[in-house]
Amino acid sequence: MLKDNNTPAVVSLAAGGVAGGIEGFLSYPLEFAKTRVQLRAEKGVPTPRNPFRVVTQVYQNEGIRALYKGCGALVVGSIAKDGVRFLFFDQIKESFADPETGTLSPLRNLLAGMTAGVIASITAVTPTERIKTALIDDARTEKRFRGGFHATATIWKEHGILGLYRGFAGTTLKQASATAFRMGTYNILKDYEKKRNIEQNTAVNFANGSVAGVVTTLATQPFDVIKTRSQSARGTTTAEAVKSILLDYGIRGFWKGTTMRLGRTVFSGGILFTSYEAAVKIIMPLYSGVKHTPGVEAS
């Protein structure tokens, strides 16, 4: 399984948050490039497929700060999202486990991930993704947002809380499916390796996370494109986003940015799970020390 069942929930939450923050920051330029490609381009202007070319062009034309526009929102969202995802995945996984063996079938692994993804979308992902996407879109058009807090306040003032949850349906579909495939695939690979006594080290964790990233991207890309369109600076409904994608690019448009997202998810999947496993090893002794100190209760 993904982790030892004896690992406390608070350790899962903290380690997941640390891993999410590290992964979000290191992989952000590739996320930025992918989001730029998925947003509506100017008519007649070709969109490069190479993420490094997009990053280079933005750096040359707009500077290094433009590449990290919206990064703060993504990192905050990643800390919350992955903390929640690891916490709830581990808790849900235990309830889905076979009572006799304590293990999960591949289908139950996917169902546990799907449930954790829905919870993460409601509690953290949708509003932070909305702010990140709006900031990236605004930076190439009107440039009216001064930063994440200003964008949040402006959207709240203009549209209320529903404005921050624009694209909720697309985001939740993406999160439910992405978490199911990412966490499920990683867990399935790890179970397979443990049965064959394959050592779980940094290289194996990174490889498993990368494979999980590839599977996740190919299976969930349409939801990601719909989410991005819904969460542009002005925002649209999910139905309007679907219609605009079909009008602009046809069915193939639902896989817009796949190459760029693959570049990010292979990299980020490896970082996420490697960071999580490392964070658990660091945090667990600290937690155990506090828990077993006489007269001190762990939170």
| pLDDT tens sequence for the chain (299 residues) | 444 455 688 999 999 999 999 999 998 888 888 777 777 566 556 666 666 787 888 888 888 888 887 788 888 888 988 999 899 888 888 787 777 766 778 888 888 889 999 998 998 889 988 898 888 888 877 888 888 889 999 999 999 999 999 889 888 988 899 899 999 899 889 888 988 899 989 999 999 999 999 999 988 888 888 888 888 777 788 888 899 999 988 999 898 878 878 878 888 899 999 999 999 999 998 888 766 555 444 43
Please state, as a whole number, how many other Cβ atoms lie within 10 Å of the Cβ of residue 121: 28
Cα(81)–Cα(133) distance, integer angstroms: 16
- CATH superfamily of domain region 9-291: Mitochondrial carrier domain (1.50.40.10)
Q: Annotate 188-254 with DSSP letters as a single string.
A: HHHHHHHHTT----HHHHHHHHHHHHHHHHHHHHHHHHHHHHHTSSS---HHHHHHHHHHHH-GGGG
C-alpha to C-alpha distances, 33 to 27, 131, 146, 227, nearest whole angstrom: 11, 16, 20, 15
| CA-based nearest residue to 70, from 115, 134, 22 | 134
